[in-house]
Amino acid sequence: MSILRKRLNEFDDALNAEEIDLINLKRLCFHGIPDEGGLRPLCWKLLLNYLPSTRASWSETLTRKRTLYKTFIEDLIVTPGEANSDGERVDVTLHDHPLNLNPDSKWQTYFKDNEVLLQIDKDVRRLCPDISFFQQGTDYPRKEIVNASGQRRLHHRVQHTVLRSANVERKGLGVTKIAVSVRKATEDYAPLAEGGEAHWEVLERILFLYAKLNPGQGYVQGMNEIVGPIYHAFACDPDQTWREHAEADTFFCFTNLMSEIRDFFIKSLDEAEFGINSMMSKLTTQVKVNDSEVWMRLHQQELCPQYYSFRWLTLLLSQEFPLPDVMRIWDSLFADENRFSFLIHICCAMILLLRDQLLVGDFATNVKLLQNFPSVDIQIVLSKAAALAGKNLNSP
């Protein structure tokens, strides 16, 4: 029996149990989840506490969550003045209107939301530009959104509208020629036509709903890089029934993951126990303990951890490696019992692997090296990290 076959069997056995043994599953996932058979999206849903360990309750949980997500869309993505579900247009001009200064005004909320949306819109259009996935259309667009003549499409709300000028040419009594210069931008991240939706539009909605439901936090740049890989995994599930609900499932898994790492995204918590600064100093300490020479080098060069590890830690390394490698890293991170100590181990391993270069490079060379991590076999990084964590990593 091949090693892969054996591993697939192990996963099948673990996942098919009536009551899934999460500790065992985590142990398996830590060594990497095989790309085959939709195992990754399923395991992630379990590791991120979206699916309960009792298989019998899956269907009820999923139905409940997905219905809830539908109501989020209905309740939170509203344009004041639009026709309600009965097809009746609510009269808004009498009590509420765009110039209404009342803080409870629907229009006030709408304009406020659009500021958040503007930021999200900029970021989802520049997510993973090296792959074409996010620019492609989803097979499962939200019908209530895409068939509303653009009304409920989020990016519609923040589109730049400018008055176009035209050259008017009139010759005597002849025909007036109006030359409107329409320069069509060939935009890669173009929204799809009525009835269709690109994957980035789906992500825009997920992030917007998250920001609306978590007003204390809102949207912070970088969240797009967290939701992206999860959605990619779910939307590429070989099983159609899972794929169909990728959006709602992603939303809840993302929300659960954010609840664990949200401190990284909140400025006022930078100094707190689980804030980003303490994570960075944990990393520095670990480098010092394991390789004092490298630590000393960086220290003498005043190469602060903020220069590189702020991004590494905040984004769970999603900007440092190609997507397939990121997914492999996340298998281990999500399987980590004491999240996210393994993340620190990985970051430390990354630095130690560059030791020879760091010891000869000057400040500028070293910052560049750390900010653009050279392409390596991710297995080497993870094995080194596992060794630092006092674990063994099986090769796939």
Partner 1 sequence: MAKKTYDLLFKLLLIGDSGVGKTCILFRFSDDAFSTTFISTIGIDFKIKTVELRGKKIKLQIWDTAGQERFHTITTSYYRGAMGIMLVYDITNEKTFENIVKWLRNIDEHANEDVEKMILGNKSDMEDKRVVSTERGEAIAREHGIRFMETSAKANINIDRAFSELAEAILEKTHGKEPQDAPDRVTVDRRVERNSNRCC
Q: Which residues bind partner 1 (CB under 8 A)?
A: 118-119, 122-123, 126-130, 160, 162, 164, 181, 183, 188, 220-222, 224-225, 265-267, 270, 306-307, 310-311, 314-315, 319, 362, 364, 367-368, 371
Burial of 101 (0-12, 13-18, 19+ CB in 10 A): exposed
Long-range contacts made by residues 321-330, C-beta under 8 angstroms, separation at least 24? 321/373, 321/378, 322/130, 322/375, 323/128, 323/131, 323/229, 323/232, 325/378, 326/229, 327/40, 327/229, 327/232, 327/233, 328/32, 328/378, 328/382, 329/378, 329/382, 330/44, 330/229
Instruction: Say how many residues make up the chain.
Output: 396
Gap between the Cα atoms of 197 and 377, Å rounded: 35
84 contacts 92 by C-beta, under 8 angstroms: no
Give the residue among 285, 299, 290 at the shortest CA–CA distance from 358: 299
Which residues lie below 8 Å from residue 104, measured CB to CB, with a gap of 6+?
none
